[in-house]
A = this chain, B = another copy of it.
Amino acid sequence: MNGNLLEAYKQTVYPVLGHGPRNLQVLKEAFEHQDGDRDSDIYGTGMLIEEFQSKIADCLGKEAAVFFPSGTMAQQIALRIWCDDKGIKKVAYHPLSHLEIHEQDGLKELHHIESVLLADAGSLIQLEDVLGMQDDIACLLLELPQREIGGQLPEFQELEAISAYCLRKGIRLHLDGARLFEILPYYQKSAAEICDLFDSVYVSFYKGIGGIAGAVLAGSEAFTKESKVWKRRYGGDLISLYPYIISADYYFNQRLHKMEQYYEEAKEFAGLFNQCHGAATIPAEPVSNMFHVRFDVSKERLEPILIAVYEETGIGLIASIKETGGMTCQCEVNIGDCYASVPKTELRNAFQLLDAKLRTVD
């Protein structure tokens, strides 16, 4: 059924989400004006990779940064290094952390590191959760924003308090910053100001930035040096990572300054959902370019409604839906370049139609 919705979404004149289709054009555009004579990176060395790593290290205010094929690899390695450092094989993170639900238990299977889950699945980790945490934790991982609950964020003062506590207790603090750039407008802070609260940071280049794949892990010289050894052990030290680096750099330059725009547009878009019968966004007002929408109707009943709206208006609002119990369903929304080109009148019309149709369900 998701297949049908996705197909209908793709057929619309104005698909609203993200930066557009994930197709080969993403790479072709990034390489179009690249000089073919430029040398590949070679096993983590060479100007091409080193310059990008320096640039991102500077942006994050860290001593050094290492480019990785994926965040999964980068974060497991970060946690392993901190565990080895402390001589404790235990870390703490949110129950819906990427490590807990999307990595086939890599951290446990490859490193035998135990995870302590903080906070309820539906809530953010608060200072209170950290204060109540067992003492024998090598590292606390915080994900900002917390993707699986709609991209929620704690207040900055809360972060500062958590960071100060961890520093005092000798607990390493790692930032899952897969969407770090996307939250700068809400906090009104630089990336470096946020990262300053953390010992190590991972950022991704294919979420808000819209590159092809790839991640950076940043921290002290000693930490990043050790991460390169593990990168080699994982088979992540590819002879050439430049297809990801070039495109990461290209879209980073193109979109970093647009995060404020995406954030404002996300708030506007969420407002339109919240005016619909039986629909509510999580969080009620987005704090980044993303949010979730919860519908008080089953996935089976919502999908044909959405498809009808898409076909009547040419506006694609949601690409896929997840069932959350029999009578509710939920979806994730990300704002990127596409939103700005959707005519606002037609977008409002689409939501009026959606609202009308949702009212007929009860």
Contact = CB atoms under 8 A, between A and B. Distances in A.
A23 B37 contact: yes
B40 A35 contact: no
Given A239-B206, A243-B244, A110 B23 contact: no
Contacts of A238: 69-70, 213
A20 to B, nearest CB: 11
Number of copies: 2
B106 A235 contact: yes
A21 B246 CA distance: 18
Contacts of A38: 23-24
A182 to B, nearest CB: 17
A156 interface: no
Contacts of A335: none
A39 interface: yes
Contact of A40 (B24, B69, B70, B111): B24
Contacts of A68: 235
Contacts of A25: 36-37
A88 interface: no
A72 B235 contact: yes
Interface stretch (A26-34, A56-64, A343-351): A26-34
Contacts of A37: 21, 23-25
Contacts of A239: 22, 206, 212-213
Interface stretch (A113-121, A130-138, A226-234, A297-305): A226-234
A235 B103 contact: yes
A37 B29 CA distance: 12
Interface string A181-213: 000000000000000000000000010000011
A142 interface: no
Which of A35, A206, A240 has the most B CB atoms < 10 Å from its CB? A240
Contacts of A34: 24, 28
Given A31-B28, A38-B23, A236 B233 contact: no
A155 interface: no
A73 B234 CA distance: 6
Interface of A: 21-29, 31, 34-40, 42, 68-74, 76, 103-106, 109-111, 206, 212-213, 229-230, 232-244, 246
10 contacts: A24-B35, A24-B40, A25-B37, A27-B31, A27-B243, A28-B34, A69-B235, A72-B234, A110-B234, A213-B241
